[in-house]
Structure 1
Amino acid sequence: MQNVAHLLRARRFLPLFATQFLGAFNDSLFKQAVVLFVTYQLYSNAAKEFQFSAIAQGLFILPFFLLSALSGQLADDHDKARLIRIIKFAEILIMIMGGAGLLLESIPLMLAAVFAMGVHSTFFGPIKYAILPQHLGKDEVLGGTGLVEAGTYIAILLGTILAGVLASQPQFAAAAVVLFALFGFLAGRQVPPAPPAAERLPITWHIVHASIELVGGTMRIRRLFLAILAISFFWTIGAVLIIIFPPLVKNVLGADEQVASMFIAIFSVGIAIGSVAINRMLKSQVSARYAPPSVIAMGVFVLLLHFVSLTWGEHGEELTTLGNFLFNPMAWPMILCLLGVAITGGMFVVPLYAFLTTTVPKTETARTVAANNIVNSGAMVIGALLAFALSSLGIGPVGQLLLVAAMCIVSAWLGWKLHLACDEGRCRTD
């Protein structure tokens, strides 16, 4: 990545990058192993499989909605490196519980661990973005954000691949998630100190009041309002796609869990590519000028994915393996469409995160990210509930791709408004 490869050798960045990478890897490994294990080993009903995928996604997202205000306050008012060590130790305990759920084939225990990992990610999320302006130069923040995003999706890719391999062997999946949680804790211990940038402010422990106050204060600033709404639509799109993939692969394409893992892996690779590409195109400048065409292209690729799925032929009762799937002549158009969706999505969202961390005072960065997480998670929960409801009405994953394409249009409009408001030197910081 242009001008920022040196960060991967710097202690002010590398330990944080490694901690985030391992956390994203373990998140992906555990959640995907749970969904694939339940979908392919425990359930044999298409509607229940789709609904379990939606429930798992919703439970993971819910803590962001409930606890992001508190997590943002803590991140701004405490040493972020110390908080990282506490959070990563908690991950070890959560993964012990999740591993037990896999071994005992206990759906409640697995879902409890998914929810707990959502709590873990809620408290880590504001830190990983707020610490970047504290440890990096202003001209490094966009590149550092892009590296974190690219690394995150490469980690998701690798975790997804491993989940596909281990989904039918829960004992190995359980051991792996605990082991990688331990690695994440060790990496987190190397993050340099990141003390609060100002005197500590009083912590508001009333989470509902704190959330309303934080979101209200942040969304009054027009550039943040537009950036947060655009990011929220993107993650709602991502949430619906992640829910769609396992039942789409099993019940529409008639393929096994390794193909389902490949779909999420391709999505992760594409976003990583888009994260790197947009930094090169913008030459480290924080700008939304490529956001509207990127998300319009994303919508076009989603429509193409819909039409390819419609033309997919009938399949037998026995699920197709990954090797046989790749020999299907329609597989490659589907893979290219999916890759196009992900690349353009990565190009759309990375500069928007840079807006959140570079156009506010450093004393308010974590709170701004937390406000973004609250709105994002609320939108994603709505997306998961909508996917659940449409499934209950008999609208399957192929039909729901049209919903995703429609959301891309709204995202393009928001990206255009942000570009007009904030690019070419017109962005106000008040």
Structure 2
Amino acid sequence: MSQFALLGRRRFAPFFWTQALGAFNDSAFRNAMVMLAAFQMGLSDHEVGLYTNLAPALFILPFFLFSATAGQLAEKFEKTRIIRFVKLFEIAAMALAAYGFIGHHLLLLLVVLFMMGIHSTVFGPIKYAILPQALSDTELVGGNGLVEMGTQMAILIGMVAGNALMLIAGIGPHFSAALTIGVAIVGYLASRFIPPAPATAPHLKFSWNPFTETVRVLRITREDHAVFNAVLGISWFWFFGTVLVAQLPLYTRVNLGGDGSVNTLVLTLFSIGTGVGALLCEKMSCKRVEIGLVPLGAFGLTAFGVDLFLARPGAAPLRGLDWLAFLHVAGSLRIVLDLTLIGVFAGFYVVPLFAFVQARTLRDRLSRVIAGNNILNALLIVIASVFGLALDTLGFGAPQIFLVAALLNVIVAVYIFTLVPEFLMRFITWVLVNTLYRIRVDGMQNLPEEGPALLVCNHVSFMDPLILMANLRRPARFVMYYKIFRIPVLHFVFKTAKAIPIAGLKEDPAILHRAFEEVDAALAEGELVCIFPEGGLTKDGQIARFRPGVEKILQRRPVPVVPMALRGLWGSVWSRRDSMLRRARLPRRFRARVELVVDAPKPAAQVDTAVLQDRVEVLRGDMA
């Protein structure tokens, strides 16, 4: 099913439109307020600068003050009711904004801006915690991609609408007031159709102290090492994006020589790129939470950030260009491509991180982890603003700031991927598997969602463990021949994936004994363990006799057994049909079509070596 089919499902569509309309209204209100202050109230440049710099601080402040409280609310109470109260709060805020627009009460509008910050603070933990309740694991990446795309498009359209309506001579404030109130009401009506989302921690002891609870939420966020580093990655994304977007108005005027329409074009390119990247995540990850896309996204942010600096490092030769004239200037298409691809790779970067946090965090604390994420995001946004101002004070132009941010991205990415090698391991696996094969998976719903299980599969090529790693919904521990485990480059992948090396009894009894101990320990911890019972690669494309190691494992730890079969690998890259030792060329079936078939789990008492071999042979069929 395509991710767009979710827009026709009640469990997703009402939430999607509620979220998108809220993002639209937030953007439209903020931009209308800026246009009112800058062009309709006769304020001095100093006064305009004061208000426009104060506005972001007021919007961010509630994230520091109330995120922890919002996380508790989302855990303890039914989420849909909270969403409806938040949307009613938005209607009240927009009613005050209407009075402020029409009466030119800028201080009142700043109060409303603070209220909208509270609105976003309370909605944030619900926004990402409700998706795992409404969507299956295979829909999580697609759902996050749609939400990210919808948010980007809503912010962009809201910005254009807020700017354009407020600048209508004489009646701009009235139109802006009508728009924001109307959208808030429609958003509330959409929220009425969101299905119930039960509390995940109804017995949670609520704390009203925002300071002690903030410390507690951040402590919870740090408990899972991998999740916390994913949160740091998301926060870095907001730092990078804040630095980039803050420089765009000056970059547009000085380096691109454009007017306001070019600034709108630049923001549009970035937003569309991010939306496209978010949507592509589902297809590129084959509906799995594929954190291997994160290093790809980080690479793209740096590569195209550096190229954006190289494309136009100095001032534009012409000034006052509209968007159409700008597109006809030499070198402009390169800048257009850079801005769009920065957005695309931003989508590759942030969507898998959000999905990873949702998938790896326990449901009864996910909202609080998202709240901790929002606190850190707000902190990094403030730091990014100070960082940009500091570089500007030092005389850096917008292109130079882009370059510094792009190079810093390398340092941060290396730091995060060093702390959590799983990100880089998944990237290597994703690149290798998707470069060499075209894979179709059948029966993945048969893989147990939780608890231990022993996976058994036929063994055709050296790439079998990587193919399975890239396609199984849950991490699995692979038992593999110790010499394959030690292959350069792949050794990093296998070690990071906690593969279990094994050897024959005559070859190294110590490795063999240690392997069985590790298998039993992994199953005792509730993990998946995958073995290739043939004990080696097939030499003729047929399934060799299964060895008795399976029975030895099950005698000690009787867990469910999941038969699996790989089809279409014989004769592909690194199978034994073409000897890689005698032929210095790629085998004839590069980019082979491969299938992975997963059967329903079998109770340990009902299987033995012969039964499993027969079942795997049936699953594989004639497609060797």
TM-score normalised by the chain length of structure 2: 0.63
Q: Does 1:265 align with 2:268?
A: yes
Return closer, same or farther for 1:161/1:429 CA change in 2, 3 Å cut-off: farther
Change (3 A) 1:52 1:179: same
Amino acid aligned to 1:139 = T
Q: Match for residue 65 of structure 1?
A: 64
Deviations 1:135-159 (CA, angstroms, capped at 9, x unpaired): 2222222221111111111222222
Instruction: Select the structure that is richer in strand.
Output: 2
Question: Greater helix percent: which structure?
Answer: 1
Moved more, 98-107 or 297-306: 98-107
Aligned CA distance change for structure 1 residues 429 and 3 (closer, same or farther; 3 Å): farther
Q: Residue deviations 1:242-263, cap 9 Å, x none?
A: 2222333245444333322222
Corresponding residue of 2:198: 195
Partner of 1:7: 6
Partner of 2:235: 232
- Deviations, residues 99-135 of structure 1 (Å, cap 9, x unaligned): 4444444543333333221211110011111111112
- Give 1:241-260 correspondences, 5 Å limit: 241-260=244-263
TM superposition shift of 1:396:
4.2
The amino acid of 1:183's aligned partner reads V
Contact 2:84 2:192 in 1 (8 A): yes
| 2:77/2:202 contact within 8 Å kept | no
Counterpart residue number, 2:87: 88
Unmatched 5+ stretches in structure 2: 427-468, 470-474, 476-496, 499-524, 528-624
Q: CA deviation at 1:36?
A: 4.8
Structure 1: which 5+ residue stretches go unaligned? Answer: none
1:351 is matched with which residue? 352
Larger mean CA deviation between 31-40 and 144-153 belongs to: 31-40
Q: Could you report, residue by residue, the CA deviation over 1:290-324 in whole angstroms, capped at 9, with x for unpaired residues?
A: 211221211221222223342442455xx433333
State the partner residue of 1:27.
26
Partner deviation per Cα, 1:200-224 (whole Å, 9 max, x = no partner): 3111111111111110222132111
What corresponds to 1:185 in structure 2? 188
Report the counterpart of residue 406 of structure 1 in structure 2.
407
Q: Distance in 1 between matches of 2:267 and 2:52?
A: 13
Letter of the 2:275 counterpart: A
Aligned to 2:177: 174
* CA gap 1:410/1:185 in 2 versus in 1, 3 angstroms: farther
Q: Do the aligned partners of residues 60 and 223 (structure 1) sit closer, same or farther apart at CA in structure 2, a change above 3 Å counting?
A: same
Which residue is 1:295 aligned to? 298
Q: What corresponds to 2:381 in structure 1?
A: 380
Would you say how many aligned residue pairs link Structure 1 and Structure 2? Answer: 426
Whether the 8 Å contact between 1:54 and 1:388 is mirrored in structure 2 is no
Matched-pair contact (CA < 8 Å) for 1:164–1:258: no
> Does 2:361 align with 1:340?
no
Aligned-partner SS, 1:362: coil
State the secondary structure of the residue aligned to 2:200: coil
Aligned to 1:365: 366
The residue correspondences of 1:151-170 to structure 2 (distance < 5 A) are 151-169=150-168, 170=172
What is the CA-CA distance between 1:401 and the residue it aligns to?
1.7
- Assess if the C-alpha contact under 8 Å between 1:359 and 1:429 holds in 2: no
Change in CA separation of 1:52 and 1:273 when aligned onto 2, cut-off 3 Å: farther
Deviates more, 1:305-314 or 1:144-153: 305-314
CA contact (8 A) 1:51 1:388 kept: no
Closer/same/farther in 2, CA of residues 332 and 257 from structure 1, 3 Å limit: same
Q: Deviations over 1:47-82 (max 9, x none)?
A: 987776554333322322221111010001111100
**Partner Cα distance (1:215, 1:132) in 2:** 22
For 2:115, give the aligned amino acid.
A
Rg comparison, structure with higher value:
2
Indicate the SS of the match to 2:6: helix
Please identify, of 345-354 and 36-45, the stretch whose mean Cα deviation from structure 2 is larger: 36-45
Which deviates more from structure 2 when the two are superposed, residues 69-78 or residues 419-428?
419-428
Contact 2:229 2:420 (C-alpha < 8 Å) held by counterparts: no
Q: What are the Cα deviations for residues 309-345 of structure 1, in whole angstroms up to 9, with x where unaligned?
A: 42442455xx433333333334322221110111101
